[in-house]
Amino acid sequence: MSREGLGDARSQGEDASSQGRAKVVRSESEWKERLTPEQYRITRKAGTERAFTGEYWNTKTPGTYSCACCGAPLFSSRTKFDSGTGWPSFWNAVASEAVEEREDRSLFMRRTEVLCATCDAHLGHVFPDGPRPTGRRYCINSASLKLEPEGEEGG
C-alpha cells in the first residue's frame, strides 16, 4: 500500500500559522519527481555529497541560498566562510526559525543535524567550531541549496 494518495503538497497554513509559518508537505514520490536523484538522496534521505564536488563549496557570489526543495530562504552569502571542508559553510542561518536542529547519532557519531524548518529537508550538520560572532559552523550540502544571486530579483 503506497502513501501516494496523501500526496498533494499541502501547505498547512492555518495550523502552522499559530507557530508563525506554514509547513510544506509532499509525498516521497512527489519529491522524487521534483528533485534530481542526488538532491533526493541528500535532502530526503539524509545523504551527504562528497567534499569539494558540490556546486557551492567555493562560491563567493553575493545572494541568498534557498532550500532546493521548497525555496525557503536559509542562508546568506554574508555569513558564508571558507571552512576548508569542501562544503558550503555558514556561521548563521538567515533567521533562527528558518532551520531546525535535531540530534543525529548515526555513523557512531553524535552530531547535530540541520533541517529546513519549512519542508524538513536534510541540509547538513552544525558544529561548534565556527568563526565569530556565533562560533557555529553550518556545514551544508550544495545539493540542498539553490543560490539566488543578489539583485536578480528583488535581491
CB 63 within 8 A of CB 77: yes
Please list, in sequence order, all residues whose beta carbon lies within 8 angstroms of the beta carbon of residue 47, skipping any fewer than 6 positions away: 41, 122, 141
The cell 542561518 sits on which residue?
Answer: 93
Minimum Å gap between C-beta 135 and Fe ion is 25
25, 35, 42, 70: residue in contact with Fe ion (rule CB under 5 A): 70
Q: Which residue in the list 69, 116, 119, 139 is annotated as catalytic?
A: 139
Decide: is 35 part of the binding site for Fe ion (CB under 5 A): no
25, 35, 42, 67: residue in contact with Fe ion (rule CB under 5 A): 67
Q: Which stretch binds Fe ion (CB under 5 A): 8-16, 96-104, 110-118, 124-132?
A: 110-118
Minimum Å gap between C-beta 65 and Fe ion is 11
The residue among 29, 35, 26 whose CA lies nearest residue 8 is 26
Residue 41 or residue 131: which is nearer to Fe ion going by CB? Answer: 41
**Cell numbers at 102, concatenated:** 535535531
Check if 139 is active-site: yes
Distance CA 97, CA 20 (A): 9
Please list, in sequence order, all residues whose beta carbon lies within 8 angstroms of the beta carbon of residue 139, skipping any fewer than 6 positions away: 83, 85, 87, 89, 124, 125, 126, 127
Decide: is 143 part of the binding site for Fe ion (CB under 5 A): no
118, 141, 142, 144: residue in contact with Fe ion (rule CB under 5 A): 118
98, 114, 116, 145: residue in contact with Fe ion (rule CB under 5 A): 116
Minimum Å gap between C-beta 53 and Fe ion is 22
